[in-house]
Amino acid sequence: MNNVMHLSFQVKSSKKNEFGKAPIYARITINEVRTEFSLKRFIEPDKWINKAGIAKGNTEEIRTLNAHILTIRTALFQHYNRLLETGKAITAEAVKNSYFGITEKSKTIMEVFQYHNDQMKSLIGKEYSFGTHERYATALNHTKEFLEYKYNVSDYPIKHVNHEFITEYEYFLKAIRKCSHNTAIKYLTNFKKIMRICLGNGWIDKDPFISYRFHLHEVEREILHEHEIQAIADKEFATSRLDQVRDIFLFCCFTGLAYSDVKKLTKDHIIIGIDGERWIKVNRTKTDTRSSIPILPMAQAILDKYVNHPKCSAEKTLLPVSSNQKMNGYLKEIAAICGIEKNITFHIARHSFATTITLQNDVPIESVSKMLGHKSIKTTQHYAKVLDKKVSNDMALLKEKMGVKIQAAKVRIA
């Protein structure tokens, strides 16, 4: 496409008025696509020179009309040339809109963000989890609060987002919203996705994140050690609700399942594995990757305990899992009763499975990664970093080997 503009002025004889005069139109054609508009001027068709695009005659009325046509011609080419300087593909409609002062409505942050979230919500259970949508909804609210805090507006043009905007947003998340560094970075990552959508659609010319570097701080994951898990397992609770939450928490300590995965667990997820034993085969809600987990005796005993539970029968699930909020609240009670001075959350069960139950007992990291449903073994390696005891044991073996070698060397030297 060459974007060359062809401009002509024509009389619409078929639209003559009661006085026998027809309207004059300007026609703009670019790349064989045309648009036109009326000049709001009329003339007798026989006084029009179609090829020249002007009226014939020398009366004051004709001279005024031709001068008006020349003014419009000049203005249209000026608008065309200005659009040409942008380097973008030009359409006939764009030239006409520019002439009339009609600019393309700029996309706004809240408009695009909300549209993205609405689409994501409609795909929950297909491509996204409820938790993912919830995080983007929170990110949208934080973005709205930032716009009101920094610019005193409820929305903001996408094309005005730049590096300064992003650094100010990061400051807002950390200093005003009191988010931790990693949490702030995660919200910025959500916002970056919105900017990439805008870039892909041509609503912005440059990625505002192009010179912005993300870096997450490494966080040491909280885990329960063997004696703490044992203390929870041995404790007798006065209320059935705590007993039930304890059982489900322990089940996850011995399977590595996350809250969303144990909540949806049904009989269909239990299979007989290649070893003839019972296994859990379930796609993780978070990543849709498959977790394959042999059922340990402790986990099986918990499943057997709730096989006839009314909630399980009604919902066709294997365990009577309450809301995540309630579970975490009850776990704090359990920790206090058991004398465990840690902020126990449901997800600590998954961390404890990865470390205390498996890696610390010499289960190969590749097998642990498979059971946890990690896409990359790098994710599993994060758990290995917290195992000081395993490091100590490994170093003890090394010292023993080195001691033997040193003793042998002494013998040779002697």
In a domain, 132, yes or no: yes
**CB 368, CB 354: distance < 8 Å:** yes
* 209 within a domain of the structure (yes/no): no
pTM above 0.75, yes or no: no
* 38 beta partners: 25
Residue 103 pLDDT > 90: no
216 belongs to a structural domain: no
Give which of 58, 24, 28, 21 is closest to 38, Cα–Cα.
24
Residues 232 and 350 in one domain: yes
> Does one domain contain both 153 and 275?
no
Task: Please indicate, yes or no, whether residues 251 and 169 belong to a single structural domain of this protein.
Answer: no
Same domain, 234 and 309: yes
Strand partners, 10: 25
Give the chain's domain count: 3
Mean pLDDT along residues 330-348: 89
- Whether residues 272 and 382 share a domain: the answer is yes
pLDDT band for position 343 (cuts 50, 70, 90): confident
User: Which one, of 405, 368, 412, lies nearest residue 390 by Cα?
Assistant: 368
Do residues 195 and 161 make contact, with C-beta atoms less than 8 angstroms apart? yes
In a domain, 148, yes or no: yes
In a domain, 395, yes or no: no
Given 185, 200, 215, which residue is the final one in a domain? 200
How does residue 194 score in pLDDT terms, banded at 50, 70 and 90?
very high
Strands (E), 197-353: 270-272, 278-283, 290-294
Q: Hey, is 291 helix, strand or coil?
A: strand
The answer to whether the beta carbons of residues 287 and 373 sit under 8 Å apart is yes
> How long is the chain?
414
Domain boundary among 58, 77, 99: 99
Of 99, 118, 145, the last residue of a domain is 99
The average pLDDT across 338-354 equals 88
Long-range contacts of 214-218 (CB under 8 A, 24+ apart): 214/185, 214/188, 214/189, 215/185, 216/181, 216/182, 216/185, 217/181, 217/182, 218/382
Q: Output the domain CATH number for residue 158.
A: 1.10.150
Residues 261 and 141 in one domain: no
* pLDDT given for residue 109 in this prediction: 93
Q: What is the mean pLDDT of residues 90-110?
A: 82
Could you tell me if 245 and 371 lie in one domain? Answer: yes
Q: What is the dihedral of CA 322, 327, 333, 334, to 10 degrees?
A: 90
Query: Dihedral sign, CA of 193, 197, 200, 206?
Result: negative
CATH number, domain at 296? 1.10.443.10
Mean pLDDT throughout 225-243?
90
User: Are both 273 and 336 inside the same structural domain?
Assistant: yes
Domain that holds residue 119: 109-200
Query: Is the confidence at residue 401, as pLDDT, over 80?
Result: no
Q: Is 104's pLDDT higher than 90?
A: no
Q: Are residues 95 and 134 in the same domain?
A: no
Q: Which of 162-166, 190-194, 289-293, 301-305 has the lowest mean pLDDT?
A: 289-293
Q: Are residues 115 and 89 in the same domain?
A: no
Phi-psi region of 362 (alpha: psi -120 to 50; beta: other; left: phi over 0): left
**Is residue 198 a contact partner of residue 204, using CB atoms and an 8 Å limit?**
yes
Looking at the DSSP bridge assignments, the partners of residue 36 are 27
Report which secondary-structure segment, H or E, holds 110. Answer: helix 109-122
For residue 293, what are its two tokens?
């987990």
pLDDT score recorded for residue 83? 86
pLDDT at 410 over 70: no
Assign 219 a pLDDT band (cuts: 50, 70, 90). low
Q: 268, exposed or middle or buried, with CB in 10 Å at 0-12, 13-18, 19+?
A: exposed
At residue 217 the predicted structure's pLDDT band, cuts being 50, 70 and 90, is confident
**Residue pair 192/209 in contact by the 8 Å Cβ criterion:** yes
